[in-house]
């Protein structure tokens, strides 16, 4: 943890001062020069720092820009999708989530709770398995995520084979469903959100208890989500 704290401190110093020498960083961190150099080498390997034209001086690397861009994209998506999610939550009466692919999983970045007293827990920031969630299935069908070699079973209804997921059917239909596949008593439906280049970058989903969001309701909700996802896609720069 101490090394992580020091690495963060280095990034903050470089952000404040620009290009800085190893000796100056070591002095400010109150560590030996070799320790500062080792930390810089690790950050350089990750692209977070780089050596400037002036030998022996370091500055922030392009990797920081890449990470900042990813964070900005998430913030933009969460902000631009919110009015649509609010409308969907009101229309369907259930919780609406926005999810993005990250490191092989589906990560929820934004949520609008439905008006019902029982509206589920907070999914924001949580990673969920791609094969057992409606958002994950949408991202798998679009190629935004890859299917893991082994599909874990979470409930008796979890689908654990690629054929059973019917990814081609999801692409043709335009939306995906889960019926008690992640949690017993929880159903969900999702549709893809496209970025400026037309690729699927996220999914918008509706989830709720199975006694309210019944299987016979899922097609109707799926069509609503397709419309909502199309509007969100346009708001973030996608045009047919």
d(CA 44, CA 49): 5
Within a domain: residue 66?
A: no
- Report the CATH number at residue 43: 1.10.10.10
Q: Please check whether residues 108 and 48 belong to one and the same domain.
A: no
**Residue 98 shares a structural domain with residue 33:** no
What confidence score (pLDDT) does residue 133 get?
96
Residues 222 and 128 in one domain: yes
Whether residue 177 lies inside any domain: the answer is: yes
Q: What tokens does 158 get?
A: 């979890």
The reply to whether 210 falls in a domain is yes
Q: How far apart are CA 143 and CA 63, in angstroms?
A: 25
Give the CATH number of the domain where residue 226 resides.
3.30.450.40
Residue 67 has a pLDDT of 60
> Could you list the residue range(s) of the whole structural domain that residue 185 is in?
73-235
Q: What pLDDT sits at residue 124?
A: 76
Number of domains in the chain: 2
For residue 67, tell me if it sits in a domain.
no
pLDDT (tens digit, 0 to 9) for every residue of the chain, 240 residues total? 577 888 888 888 888 888 888 888 888 888 888 888 888 888 888 888 888 766 678 888 767 655 655 555 555 788 888 999 999 999 999 999 999 998 788 988 889 988 765 555 676 778 899 999 999 999 999 999 999 889 999 999 999 999 999 999 999 999 999 999 999 999 999 999 998 788 999 999 999 999 999 999 999 999 999 999 999 998 887 666
Same domain (yes/no): 156, 40:
no
- Note whether residue 240 is domain-resident: no
Domain boundary residue among 37, 60, 83?
A: 60
Contacts of 226 (CB under 8 A, 6+ apart): 174, 175, 191
Domain end: 14, 39, 60, which one? Answer: 60
Residues 79 and 155 in one domain: yes
pLDDT for res 66: 59
The whole-number pLDDT of residue 1 equals: 58
Let me know whether 83 and 175 are in one domain: yes
- What would the 3-class secondary structure string for 84-118 be? HHHHHHHHHCCEEEEEEEECCEEEEEEEECCCCCC
Does a structural domain hold residue 34? yes
Of 18, 38, 60, the residue that ends a domain is 60
């Amino acid at each position: 943890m101490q090394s992580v704290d020091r690495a963060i401190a280095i990034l903050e110093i470089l952000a404040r001062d620009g290009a800085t020498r190893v000796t100056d960083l070591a002095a400010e961190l109150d560590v030996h020069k070799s320790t500062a150099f080792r930390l810089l080498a690790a950050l350089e390997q990750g692209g977070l720092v780089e050596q400037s034209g002036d030998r022996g001086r370091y500055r922030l690397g392009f990797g920081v820009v890449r990470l900042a861009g990813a964070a900005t994209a998430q913030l933009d998506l969460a902000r631009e999708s919110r009015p649509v999610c609010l409308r969907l939550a009101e229309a369907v009466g259930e919780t609406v989530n926005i999810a993005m692919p990250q490191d092989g999983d589906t990560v929820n970045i934004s949520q609008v709770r439905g008006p019902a007293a029982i509206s589920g827990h907070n999914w924001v920031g949580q990673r969920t398995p791609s094969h057992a969630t409606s958002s994950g299935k949408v991202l798998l069908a679009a190629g935004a995520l890859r299917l893991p070699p082994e599909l874990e079973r979470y409930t008796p209804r979890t689908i654990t084979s690629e054929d059973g997921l019917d990814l081609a059917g999801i692409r043709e239909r335009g939306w995906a469903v889960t019926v008690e596949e992640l949690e017993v008593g929880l159903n969900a439906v999702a549709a893809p959100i496209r970025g400026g280049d037309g690729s699927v970058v996220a999914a918008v989903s509706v989830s709720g208890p199975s006694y309210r969001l019944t299987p016979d309701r899922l097609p109707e909700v799926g069509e609503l989500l397709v419309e909502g996802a199309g509007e969100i896609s346009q708001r973030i720069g996608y045009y047919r």
